[in-house]
Amino acid sequence: MQAWLSDLQQLLAHGDAAVLVTVARVEGSAPREAGTKMIVTRDSARHTIGGGHLEWKAIEIARQVLRDGIRVPHARRLERLALGPSLGQCCGGAVVLAFERLDVGDLGWLATLGKRLSAGASTVRTVSFGAPREGTAGDAVMLSEPEPGVDASDCLLWDAPLQGETGDGALLTETIAPNEIPVVVFGAGHVGAALIRVLGTLPCRIRWIDGRDAAFPSPDALAAPGASNDLAGRVETDATDTPDEAIDAALPGTSFFVMTHDDTRDFELAERILRRADYLFLGMVGSHTKRRQFEHRLAARGIDPIQIARMHCPLGLDGIVDKAPEVIAISAAAQLLQAVDARAARREAITPAA
């Protein structure tokens, strides 16, 4: 589930009002893309639309929207902010920010959106920014099915003024897509635990596998000191002596990290993953010697050379030679993000222009 969505549900369920800030439109260079979100309450702000003076100004406006809620419970507002000297930023572009005051009455559509995302379904969210009458809740947030074949995130602002600070009659339409990255990690040693810590800061859904006698650290033990931790809901530990079943059960587009203590087991896992061919990423801890040995053995087993070439072993970005578990974990996570971005670029390249 999108992190902003779960945070917003928790806040509203406790009776707090909050303002959802969305980057509704980007003109030129900007710190974050359209669709990026931040949550602002009376005394806190969660997530980021880019930091700096832009974010401070957004928080200031959001708290004014909260105060406006005394008269208009579901106040909404659009603001166009130029990213120039007036904000102390030099991006050179501009953003239109959408501000929506939400309260416990919004839990219904938020729960529906959460269920759809958890089920892997993209959803179109439509919000009107026409000025509501004083004392009314304004137009409801509408959720609908995307057009057939559309499953990527998108954000469009219709009929919004290009100049000025506010807009009446504008319509925000965004496609909110599941953003969790399915990951299977084999091995609960030091590198495996370090990798789980890093992946826990990313939108990953993780299955963590080792033998029956494995001692998995608790999610609380893996969280950074003082940090909020929702790993328990996103990491499934599996102590099993039949890890091959996890490969067969994985969804297409899953990423795999192989880092067990047994090279024979590593080879068996790698061969099974490579035969699938529909994975996103395969990374394996090991040396250049291990890779060369595996390449010869995999070729002898009839594995396609194109698939063998996709195997990242040694694991980690070129030029990073430190072998500390934490360093390997950060470098490996960066490789995974490169694979995610490359897939997004390929999809964008084959999507017909609107």
pTM: 0.75
Q: Is the pLDDT of residue 97 over 70?
A: yes
Give the mean model confidence (pLDDT) for residues 179-199: 92
Task: Note the pLDDT of residue 218.
Answer: 72
Q: Is the pLDDT of residue 123 over 80?
A: yes
Task: Note the pLDDT of residue 1.
Answer: 61
Q: Is the pLDDT of residue 229 over 60?
A: no
Higher-pLDDT residue of 162, 81: 81
At residue 164 the predicted structure's pLDDT band, cuts being 50, 70 and 90, is very low
The answer to whether the CB of 193 falls within 8 A of the CB of 222 is: yes
At residue 52 the predicted structure's pLDDT band, cuts being 50, 70 and 90, is confident
Query: Cα separation of 308 and 321, whole Å?
Result: 23
Q: What percent of the chain is modeled with pLDDT above 70?
A: 86
Give the mean model confidence (pLDDT) for residues 51-67: 93
Task: Note the pLDDT of residue 270.
Answer: 97
At residue 220 the predicted structure's pLDDT band, cuts being 50, 70 and 90, is low
At residue 91 the predicted structure's pLDDT band, cuts being 50, 70 and 90, is low
**Amino acid in the structure at residue 248:** D
Query: Cα separation of 251 and 247, whole Å?
Result: 9
Residue 305: phi and psi, rounded to 5, are -55, -30
What is the Cα 95 distance to its own chain's centre?
Answer: 21
Query: Cα separation of 187 and 62, whole Å?
Result: 45
**Per-residue three-class SS string for 189-248:** CHHHHHHHHHHCCCCEEEEEEECCCCCCCCHHHHCCCCCCCCHHHCEEEEECCCCHHHHH
Query: Cα separation of 354 and 351, whole Å?
Result: 9
Task: Note the pLDDT of residue 250.
Answer: 94
Give the mean model confidence (pLDDT) for residues 54-80: 90
Within the chain, all domains assigned CATH 3.40.50.720 are found at 181-343
CA 196, 201, 202, 206 torsion-angle sign: positive
Give the mean model confidence (pLDDT) for residues 200-214: 87
The least confident of 35-39, 158-162, 285-289 is 158-162
Task: Note the pLDDT of residue 158.
Answer: 87
**Mean predicted lDDT score pLDDT of the chain:** 86
In this structure, what token pair is assigned to residue 127?
């919000």
Contacts of 250 (CB under 8 A, 6+ apart): 182, 184, 207, 256, 276, 279
Q: Is the pLDDT of residue 152 over 50?
A: yes
Task: Note the pLDDT of residue 88.
Answer: 53
Q: Domain spanning 181-343: which superfamily?
A: NAD(P)-binding Rossmann-like Domain (3.40.50.720)
Higher-pLDDT residue of 11, 83: 11
The answer to whether the CB of 246 falls within 8 A of the CB of 184 is: yes
pLDDT in tens, 281-327: 999 999 999 999 999 999 999 999 999 999 999 999 999 989 999 99
Residue-wise burial string across 321-331, b where 16 or more C-beta atoms lie within 10 A, e elsewhere: eeeebeebbbb
Task: Note the pLDDT of residue 347.
Answer: 74
Q: Is the pLDDT of residue 138 over 70?
A: no
**Per-residue three-class SS string for the chain:** CCHHHHHHHHHHHCCCCEEEEEEEEEECCCCCCCCCEEEECCCCEECCCCCHHHHHHHHHHHHHHHHHCCCCCCCEEEEEEECCHHHCCCCCCEEEEEEEEECHHHHHHHHHHHHHHHCCCCEEEEEECCCCCCCCCCCCCEEECCCCCCCCCEEEEECCCCCCCCCCCCEEEEEECCCCEEEEEECCCHHHHHHHHHHCCCCEEEEEEECCCCCCCCHHHHCCCCCCCCHHHCEEEEECCCCHHHHHHCCCCCEEEECCCCHHHHHHHHHHHHHHCCCCEEEECCCHHHHHHHHHHHHHCCCCHHHHHHEECCCCCCCCCCCCHHHHHHHHHHHHHHHHHHHHHHHHHHCCCC
